[in-house]
Amino acid sequence: MTNQSQQIYKKLQILLKDLPWYVEEYINHKKRKLSAASLLNYAHDYKIFFNWLIDEEVFNGKITEVPLELLESLTVQQAEGFLSYLQYQLNNKEITVNRKLSALKSLFNYLQNIAETRDLKPYLQRNVMAKIEFNEIKDSMETIANKIEGKILIGDEYEKFRQFIAYDYGLQIKENKKLYNFHLLNRERDTAIVSLILGSGLRLSEVVNLNLDDIDYSKYTARVIRKGNKEQFVYFSKLAMDDLQEYLSIRESKYQVDKSNKALFIAAAMGPKGKPRRLTARSIEKLIEKYAAAFGKPSLSVHKLRHSFATRYHNEINDVPKLRRQLGHSSIQTTMIYTHIRNDDLRHAVDKMDLPKDEA
């Protein structure tokens, strides 16, 4: 287990102390199947739900005291009321409401169909969440694809953005010595991070958790732990390997990192007594935001770089099952979105409709 996962599990254990006993039992049941981050998200969702029960006076007492009998007696109207609260008071998008509902459905299903008392009876006889339907997401795949397309790197922008981080950004901020020196320290690392995501489609958490020995330098693969704690070796591009090798050549000298520190991407020590440490997810998000804004494409994010890779992969290889495996999607429907981005053949066919017959 990585240090990051251990930290997440610690946060999870603290959060579980504020939730009913059967939630902790459910989380323990799911530990083999879900990542630490997913379990922590589930626990946060449950806390919102139980807080709502108390705020609405469905239950008077502490969250830890909410009995199974209360869950069993919840009405459909009350469950729908919670979803309305998420959407209209917390301003959650429909897809976020669906995610929180999915978490509740999973918990209630466990309580009704998996968990059992000593006399072999289910914890719940009645499951109100089984009666609640998910929000129908109004956007079609084409609409989602169109929204993504305007926010990702297309065509020669891949290399332009990479070159911008490696060289042009430094020229842009050269007059500010503090910023310029900070960039000189981190440009090989930052270029390698962006190049790796653009050359593999790795998730942010997967990049953060990479260790030195996770990279296979002969096969151009990175060992990652995907959702559901599944180990996978993910291919990345030769260009990403070149940038990674350049970063590794200066990693120890620039960051003064001890050989016992196996984290691939390092943050410099803070202060005279600080030690080099693993670069955090938020730090990577912030550095992408910084470069994206200076590049003139502020909508770029780590996830948009992943979208950029997937779009390029599909355009060049057009193999959805392979792309699904590369991205680690559990559902092929998620991967199918990329078949709707930059469909140049379709656009060309439509354009030809307006041409005279002898030009078409």
Active-site entry in 47, 151, 227, 262: 227
From first CA to last CA, the distance across the chain in angstroms is 60
Determine the distance from the C-alpha atom of residue 255 to the mean position of all C-alpha atoms in its chain, rounded to a whole number. 27
- Under 8 Å CB-to-CB from 349, ≥6 apart: which residues? none
Q: Is 227 a catalytic residue?
A: yes
Q: Is 278 a catalytic residue?
A: no
Q: Is 307 a catalytic residue?
A: no
Per-residue CA distances from 141 to 30, 144, 320, 333, 345 (Å): 31, 5, 15, 9, 17
Active-site entry in 226, 312, 338, 340: 338
Active-site entry in 183, 187, 189, 203: 203
Q: Token digits for 296?
A: 């003139």
Q: Is 306 a catalytic residue?
A: yes
64 and 77 in contact (C-beta within 8 Å)? no
Active-site entry in 162, 189, 297, 306: 306
| Whole-angstrom distance, CA of residue 143 vs CA of residue 339 | 12
- Could you write out the three-class secondary structure of 165-187? HHHHHHHHCCCCHHHHHHHHHHH
**246 φ, ψ to 5°?**
-65, -40
134 and 103 in contact (C-beta within 8 Å)? no
Q: Is 105 a catalytic residue?
A: no
- To the nearest 10 degrees (0 to 180), the angle between helices 21-30 and 36-55 is 160
Active-site entry in 189, 297, 314, 329: 329
Query: Which residues are designated catalytic?
Result: 203, 227, 303, 306, 329, 338
